[in-house]
Structure 1
Amino acid sequence: ALAFADDLVLCARTSSGLRRSMDAVQTRLSAAGLVLNVEKSATLAITIDAKAKRYVVDTSEVFYLGQQNLGVLDAASQLKYLGIQFLPRGAAPSDGSALEKGLRNLRRAPIKPQQRMFMLRDHLIPQLQHGLVLGAARRGTLRKLDVQMRHHTRLWLRLPKDTPVAYFHARSADGGLGLPQFSVTIPILRERRMRGLEQSDSPYVRAVIRTKLGDVVRSRNTYNLHYGGERPRSIKQADVITAKLLHQAVDGRGLLEASRVPEPNDWVLGRSRLQSGRAFIDSVKVRGNLLPTGSRSSRGRRGQGSEGWCDAGCRAKESLNHISQACIRTHGGTVQRHDAVSRFACGRLRQRGFVVIEEPRIPTPAGIRKPDIIAEKNGKPVILDTQIKSDTLKLSDEHVRKRNYYDTPEVLDWVRNKFESENVPLVSTITLSWRGVWAPESATLLRELGLTKTDLRLISVMVVEKTALMFRWFKRSALTRNAPRQ
């Protein structure tokens, strides 16, 4: 007998033996006040056809539970046990219809795109994972499920067809959307399950695994998985490979430092309702460098009149990096994005009891220095300057460069005299890339000053939203570098 929770399987060599087992179980359960559910019970009789040398499903014999007869399974019948569909010959192969149905339901539901992503990642996929790990899942089926999932995600988020595959499946901490990849995770989980059976504390389980039946089960659960040119043995190793594939892609290269400060990247998981659907879609595109810039749209067509130069007459490629950092059309947006981050940080510092001075003019022999924020609490002053940098730069180096710019005796003495403090002011920065990736030194100091992980996440969202807005301004503007300003 096999028993788990309220499910029970009785096995016998003969029909008379099965009847005795059924009577004994019914008697014991009745004594405990329990009743068997006839509608959910069924019998399966497998006999041997010696002449044809094959197994046969026998449907001629009917079994009774009390006065009611139990359903009889034939060769094509399916029975659900512990969430897995079984045929007489074993676990029924999955065809992916459950995922397709769930994706269609999510697409029809009147919810935001980020809510669809949340439901897919945190509810629909875990529902399917149990059956794929314990049931029969072929490689082709797993790849088909991945294709279905990415297809619907592209529709929901309006992503281009050449979006890197790794962008869908990389962890949010590494810069991706955090969707599991069935063709990678399921084989790893099945092999881990087999290793668990081989190392089981039960001698009976270990004995079964060493039989011919165990060899068959082991062969069905060994995929010899190769992914990204490597052989991952765990989900963690697979995540590292996926992150590497993302950061090797042209569009994912700017997310290389995302994992150094992983918490602010959680906004992409769609667990917040603060963003509108359009803002979330645009933010995901900015994060993945997927907006239709001239440089990106001209890939594969250069040399045919589509070189991807900036439409405003700048001597630079029309990349999102150029549009959000240096283009003449979006200079005002660059300033607004910078000021929005500074104002948010000032507000949070004031809420935590800091006295804040914004953009003071500090005279020095080298010229006027104007840090964005000077804050003081309990006699300990802090100097902060905000900067949104290119995704091609090392953010830690940019943090050090800006910190050294203000870490001079004249600036420090001015701040000490302003607050009448004996402590040496602490100099730091608020440094991010236009993709919302943080410099770790900046994030660490802001946390020490009292800002929360949620505050850092909101700043990241603010940056990518402003960057998306700048792209729209760029497309709507007719300003060129040679044209006179109005």
Structure 2
Amino acid sequence: MNVSDAYKYLGVVFTAKGMVSAPILEGIQEGLGRLNGIGLTVFERYITLRDHLIPRLVYSLTYGKVSQSQVRQAEQVVRLAVRDWMKLARDTPREFYYAPTSAGGLALNELEVRRKLFHNKRMSSLRDSKDPIIRAIIAQDPKYVRPQQAIIGGLLYRDSDKAETLYAKALWAKTDTCGLASTAQGHRNFMFLTDRGQKHNDATFCAAVQIMAGAPLTKAKRARFTQLPNRNKCESCGDRIKNLQHILQVCPRVRGARIKRHDQVQALLEVSLKAKNKKFHKDNIIPMGGTVRKPDLVIIDEKKISVVDPTIVSDTLSLQESSKLRWSL
């Protein structure tokens, strides 16, 4: 073997001069090039990137030598690719890419953070080792096992923290994605990001992700970058800010679309009830005192009757608050 030759040992490349820096950036660029060069849907590209391409780099990040600048460039390349695939806004919060899907994020690995967390985990194992040789090395050079500081969404990671929790907190603190905090009250949220058996066309998938990220170009978002008449206020609602929440829940201009959305949700519920052979009645009128209630569905079971009124609630209220408000009217 010549001095200029390289060899791989346990997945890490060495030369006569020592460990060779892993080509993280080249690996990401090559992988993304392949994904863009074949006929995959956006969902398939996203899943391949999240579950295969990025995790392949974990070993090199953990045990190999990597350039910090390359790691940061690779992260930027990944975010730009995902933003282009899903047509996300330029000001999409950074944490949206990395927060877990259960919190309303895309659950990509942030390479720089993961590198530090993997490093700290290895150093913690070394510090706890009972091996006399390792203990002697640590005694001679304690800095060798010193942990590295990891910052997640502006928050300092501590040993008692979970990275996913910090990403969620940072995401929920952003103006465009604060409503995602209500997802913690739901059940199996955002399954369309994890269930590989589902078939998504690009338009539907990207639209759903854009809503999660608060990406649609509303007047409130445009007003951040451009001077508009009446600034960020709605043309129909006086002093109300025309953001996504206002459009989806209140604005009279899209009342018809909201009714259609409600009917589609109710139709899904009816299909589910029919599949389970549940009896139900629609268009009900229930006298109550001097007035009447008109719930959408009355479900009749063997031992109970359930009154159901499907409601798409605002992300500014908890489900409990919305329920109390609904039934107090």
Q: Counterpart of 2:213 in structure 1: which amino acid?
A: G
Question: Could you tell me how far 1:384 is from its partner in structure 2?
Answer: 1.1
Change (3 A) 1:298 1:160: same
The one of 278, 289, 292 equivalent to 1:368 is 292
Change (3 A) 1:272 1:127: same
Whole-Å Cα distance in 1 between the matches of residues 160 and 26 of structure 2?
Answer: 25
The residue number in structure 2 matching 1:87 is: 15
The residue number in structure 1 matching 2:264 is: 340
The one of 181, 191, 196 equivalent to 2:120 is 191
Whole-Å Cα distance in 1 between the matches of residues 128 and 90 of structure 2?
Answer: 45
Whole-Å Cα distance in 2 between the matches of residues 355 and 318 of structure 1?
Answer: 41
Contact 1:115–1:270 (8 Å) recurs in 2: no
The answer to whether the aligner puts 1:298 opposite 2:226 as a matched pair is no
Whole-Å Cα distance in 2 between the matches of residues 262 and 394 of structure 1?
Answer: 14
SS at 1:386 equivalent:
coil
Question: Could you tell me how far 1:309 is from its partner in structure 2?
Answer: 3.5
Q: Counterpart of 1:148 in structure 2: which amino acid?
A: V
The one of 41, 64, 75 equivalent to 1:135 is 64
Contact 2:116–2:148 (8 Å) recurs in 1: yes
SS at 1:257 equivalent:
helix
Whole-Å Cα distance in 1 between the matches of residues 223 and 328 of structure 2?
Answer: 40
Q: Name structure 1 gaps, 5 residues minimum.
A: 1-71, 406-486
Any residues of structure 2 matched to 1:6-405 within 5 Å, and which?
Answer: 72-74=1-3, 76-95=4-23, 96-200=25-129, 202-212=131-141, 217-218=144-145, 222-233=147-158, 237-261=162-186, 263-269=188-194, 271-302=196-227, 305=229, 307-310=231-234, 313-315=236-238, 316-404=240-328
Question: Could you tell me how far 1:259 is from its partner in structure 2?
Answer: 2.2
Question: Could you tell me how far 1:280 is from its partner in structure 2?
Answer: 0.5
Contact 2:79–2:97 (8 Å) recurs in 1: yes
Whole-Å Cα distance in 1 between the matches of residues 266 and 249 of structure 2?
Answer: 17
Q: Which 10-residue stretch deviates more, 109-118 or 316-325? A: 316-325
Contact 1:84–1:135 (8 Å) recurs in 2: yes
Question: Could you tell me how far 1:373 is from its partner in structure 2?
Answer: 1.4
SS at 2:78 equivalent:
helix
Contact 1:353–1:377 (8 Å) recurs in 2: no
Q: Counterpart of 1:114 in structure 2: which amino acid?
A: F
> Which is strand-richer, 1 or 2?
1
Q: RMSD in angstroms over aligned alpha carbons?
A: 2.4
Amino-acid identity (%):
26
Whole-Å Cα distance in 2 between the matches of residues 326 and 253 of structure 1?
Answer: 18
TM-score normalised by length of structure 1: 0.62
Change (3 A) 1:202 1:378: farther
Whole-Å Cα distance in 1 between the matches of residues 59 and 133 of structure 2?
Answer: 24
SS at 1:271 equivalent:
coil
Contact 1:175–1:259 (8 Å) recurs in 2: no
Contact 2:124–2:145 (8 Å) recurs in 1: no
- Describe the superposition over 1:181-236 as per-residue Cα deviations: whole angstroms up to 9, x where unpaired: 11112101111012112323544444454455xx57536xx433344454313595
Change (3 A) 1:204 1:328: same
Q: Counterpart of 2:255 in structure 1: which amino acid?
A: H
Whole-Å Cα distance in 2 between the matches of residues 73 and 237 of structure 1?
Answer: 47
- Describe the superposition over 1:121-154 as per-residue Cα deviations: whole angstroms up to 9, x where unpaired: 1111111111111111243332222111111111
Whole-Å Cα distance in 2 between the matches of residues 210 and 271 of structure 1?
Answer: 50
- Describe the superposition over 1:18-61 as per-residue Cα deviations: whole angstroms up to 9, x where unpaired: xxxxxxxxxxxxxxxxxxxxxxxxxxxxxxxxxxxxxxxxxxxx
Whole-Å Cα distance in 1 between the matches of residues 280 and 187 of structure 2?
Answer: 28
Change (3 A) 1:168 1:234: farther
Whole-Å Cα distance in 1 between the matches of residues 154 and 82 of structure 2?
Answer: 26
Question: Could you tell me how far 1:262 is from its partner in structure 2?
Answer: 5.3
- Bigger Rg, which one: 1
Whole-Å Cα distance in 1 between the matches of residues 159 and 51 of structure 2?
Answer: 20
Q: Counterpart of 2:175 in structure 1: which amino acid?
A: V
Q: Counterpart of 1:292 in structure 2: which amino acid?
A: L
Contact 1:94–1:136 (8 Å) recurs in 2: yes
- Describe the superposition over 1:287-342 as per-residue Cα deviations: whole angstroms up to 9, x where unpaired: 1111011221111434x64713435x343333222222223332111111111111
Whole-Å Cα distance in 2 between the matches of residues 362 and 262 of structure 1?
Answer: 30
Q: Counterpart of 2:316 in structure 1: which amino acid?
A: T
Question: Could you tell me how far 1:171 is from its partner in structure 2?
Answer: 0.9
